[in-house]
Amino acid sequence: MTTRRWLSLTVLVLIACLSIPALAQARVLLVGRYHAVQGRYRTIQSAVNAAKPGDWILVAPGDYKESTGKHDGVQITTPRLHLRGMDRNRVIVDGSRPGGRTCDSRRHFQDFGPRDPDTNKPGGRNGVEVFKASGDTVENLTACNFLSGTGTTENGNEIWFNGGDGSGKIGMRGFRGAYLNATSTYFAAQDKPMGLYGIFTSNERGPGIIIHSYASNMGDSAYYFGACPLCNVTLDDGHGYHSAQGMSLSDAGAGVLITHTEFADNKMGIIPNSLNNDDGPWNQNGACRPGSRVNFGNGSCFVIEHNYIHDNNNPNVPSIGIAANAPVGTGIELSGSQFDTVFANRIQNEGAWGILVNLFPDQRKHIPSFDHCLGGTFSGGLCLYDAFGNDVRNNVFTRNGFFGNPSNGDIGEATNPHNPGNCFRGNRNTGGALTTDPANLQQTQSRCSGLSAGDTGVLLQQGICDAELVGPCPPSQGHYPRTTNVRLLALPRHEPNMPNPCAGVPANPWCVVVRHQRAQR
């Protein structure tokens, strides 16, 4: 099986086609001062407000402390708009207040957002939000310090392609994010405002791509794709670090490809998961359906392949809400996931499990009207999502399970009997025999059809213990790292730039300078 990089090319072509009707009339709006040429606009939002479909907005290097007076720093509602920085590391969309340093970490320079009318507490802010607008691109810039509301998991998204969060509906089509950094330098406590999501897509059906990106220091996840039964979205060449979860894919369906991405130094790596919440009304199910742009050929159109997942053993990261219960030391967790493919990844130095496939009992009590445990089983006040139909093959494991608790190792499966079950084949350990619980998974569950089950005894109890789902885990039951002192990674300053920020942009004064410089080299 080869990596499906054709999907990235397809996405680029389709998004380009979305822009063709407006290309002849496209304008270029310039923000800031670049190579001694002053643009017309001083803020990004003022240029966005003036733009029409098909227009380009170029942003000069600078610290843009954007504020709309609402929950967004920059909100884009115009379709086929292209927002591009001239330098990925020096064009900063900054959530901290004017007068402070770039992405200031001091509390009195944080902007906690307008007050929520229901709680009368600050409601948080988002950075660059594309809201229900299709065919938009956001490229070559950094967003930082947009924080969640006080005591909530609302807002706090650095870069967000939002097709209608919490609506149960799809409100966005094609989009592209490229050469992006998303981070936060501020953290006070686990129940205080923090950066929640780095790069976030929701309620969309693509084609979409996030490529050449970096995200860190998030209390939920560095990356998030979700709330889409037919997502058609790709993450390629990403770097998710130092967050509660490297990537979360809540209630994400067919057409998902996660490839050539590194997840490290998080509490845990990647978690496709089913939840009974406003990401519904579907559960996490990667089974192919008409219109999917990813197809592994085994009935699964949700693929995690050729990634480097390592050293996700860090409890000293921001965390809040359900993400605080992520099982530390886990590379990939398929939590209540169905018909996903995990193929040819390198997974190493995970203290608990390299890959954990498990059922998930959702205990949340506030269920939106459009989601009533669809895809799960409701009983005793719980929505139980079992994990089945998943294909785990040809992954390479090195030094996993070193926490040394019962069931810790390369692969664990904690599921109820189901037909079809999950299958495990072609996986190997570089230092000896593959370690699995139940034992010999590749011998007993090599076929992806037929009735099978996992260990709902010791392994399930260890998973609950690690995640502290029912409270602190007594030392007599297991030893897992716990939070002591949260520290954040420094602001990224040297991530690779877009090779030519003027590529594809209509004629404008800034690109005359850039093209002249390139011609002289």
pLDDT by residue for the chain (521 residues), tens digit each? Answer: 444 433 444 444 444 444 444 445 899 999 999 999 999 999 999 999 999 999 999 999 999 999 877 899 999 999 999 999 999 999 999 999 999 999 999 999 999 999 888 888 999 999 999 999 999 999 999 999 999 998 888 899 999 999 999 999 999 999 999 999 999 999 999 999 999 999 999 999 999 999 999 999 999 999 999 999 999 999 999 999 999 999 999 999 999 999 999 999 999 999 999 999 888 888 999 999 999 999 999 999 999 999 999 999 999 999 999 999 999 999 999 999 999 999 999 999 999 999 999 999 987 766 677 778 888 998 888 899 999 999 999 999 999 999 999 999 999 999 999 999 999 999 999 999 999 999 999 999 999 899 999 999 999 999 999 999 888 999 899 999 999 999 999 999 999 999 999 999 999 999 987 766 767 66
Element containing residue 512 per DSSP (H, E):
helix 509-520
Neighbours of 461 (CB within 10 A): 17
In a domain, 180, yes or no: yes
Distance CA 323, CA 341 (A): 23
User: Which secondary structure element, helix H or strand E, spans residue 17, and what is its range?
Assistant: helix 6-23
pTM: 0.94
Q: What is the pLDDT of residue 25?
A: 80
Residue 74 domain flag: yes
> Which tokens hold the place of 194?
């923090």
DSSP 419: S
Q: How many helices (H) and strands (E) does the chain have?
A: 5, 36
What's the Cα-to-Cα distance from 111 to each of 62, 63, 231, rounded to whole Å? Answer: 19, 15, 33
pLDDT at 204: 98
- Can you tell me the distance from the alpha carbon of 246 to that of 255, in angstroms, rounded to the nearest whole number? 20
Q: Write phi, then psi, for 460 (nearest 5 degrees).
A: -60, -40
Q: Residue 379's pLDDT is what?
A: 82
Lookup: tokens for 44: 């990004």
Number of domains observed in the structure of the chain: 1
Looking at the DSSP assignment, which residues form a beta bridge with residue 178? 139, 211
Confidence (pLDDT) at 17:
43
Distance CA 31, CA 464 (A): 51
The answer to whether position 14 is within a domain reads: no
pLDDT at 496: 97
Provide the CA 198 distance to its chain's centre, in angstroms: 7
- How many angstroms separate the Cα of 417 from the Cα of each of 169, 175, 273, 412, 469? 33, 40, 19, 15, 23
Q: CATH code at 441?
A: 2.160.20
Looking at residue 365, what is its pLDDT?
Answer: 65
**Residue 223 sits in which domain range?**
26-520
Q: What is the pLDDT, as a whole number, of residue 16?
A: 46
229 within a domain of the structure (yes/no): yes
AA letter at 479: H
Per-residue model confidence (pLDDT) at position 192: 94
b/e 98-125 (16+ beta carbons within 10 angstroms → b): eebebbbbeeebbbbbbebeeeeebbbb
Look at residue 21 in the predicted model and tell me its pLDDT: 44
d(CA 377, CA 379) in angstroms, rounded, equals 6
Angle CA 209–211–216, to nearest 5 = 115
What confidence score (pLDDT) does residue 502 get?
97
